[in-house]
Structure 1
Amino acid sequence: MRMGYIYIALTILFTVYGQLTLRWQMARAGELPPALAAKLFFLLQQFTNPWVLSALASAFIASLCWMAAMTKFELSFAYPFMSLSFVLVMFISLLVFGELFTWHKVLGTLIIMGGLFIMTR
Structure 2
Amino acid sequence: MGYLYIFGTIIFTVYGQLMLKWRIEKFGSLPPAFIDKLIFLFKLLLDPLILSGFLSAFVASIFWMGAMTKFDISYAYPFMSLSFVLVFFFSIFLFQEPVTVTKVLGLSLIVLGILVTSQSL
Establish whether TM, by shorter chain, passes 0.5: yes
Instruction: Give the share of equivalent positions with the same residue, in percent.
Output: 54
Matches of 1:42 and 1:56, distance apart in 2: 17
Residues 27-49 of structure 1, C-alpha deviations (whole Å, 9 max, x = no match): 00101011122112211111221
- Tell me the secondary structure at the aligned position of residue 71 of structure 1: helix
Aligned to 1:42: 40
Q: Which residue of 1 aligns with 2:86?
A: 88
Aligned pairs for 1:62-77 (under 5 A) are 62-77=60-75
Partner of 2:12 in structure 1? 14
After superposing on structure 2, the runs of 4+ consecutive aligned residues of structure 1 that deviate more than 3 Å are none
Count of aligned pairs between the two proteins: 119
Partner of 2:51: 53
Residue range with higher mean Cα deviation, 16-25 or 43-52? 43-52
Give the secondary structure class of the aligned counterpart of 1:111.
helix
Question: Which sits farther off after the overlay, 84-93 or 33-42?
Answer: 33-42
Distance 2:84 2:34 in 1: 30
- TM-score, normalization by structure 2: 0.96
Q: String of CA shifts for 1:56-87, please: whole Å, max 9, x gaps.
A: 10000001110111011110000000000000
Q: CA deviation at 1:4?
A: 1.0
In the alignment, structure 1 segments of 5+ residues that lack a partner are none
Q: Which runs of 5+ in 2 are unaligned?
A: none
CA–CA separation in structure 2 for the residues paired with 1:69 and 1:86: 19
1:71 corresponds to which letter in structure 2?
T
Q: TM-score normalised to the size of structure 1?
A: 0.96
The aligned counterpart of 2:30 is 32
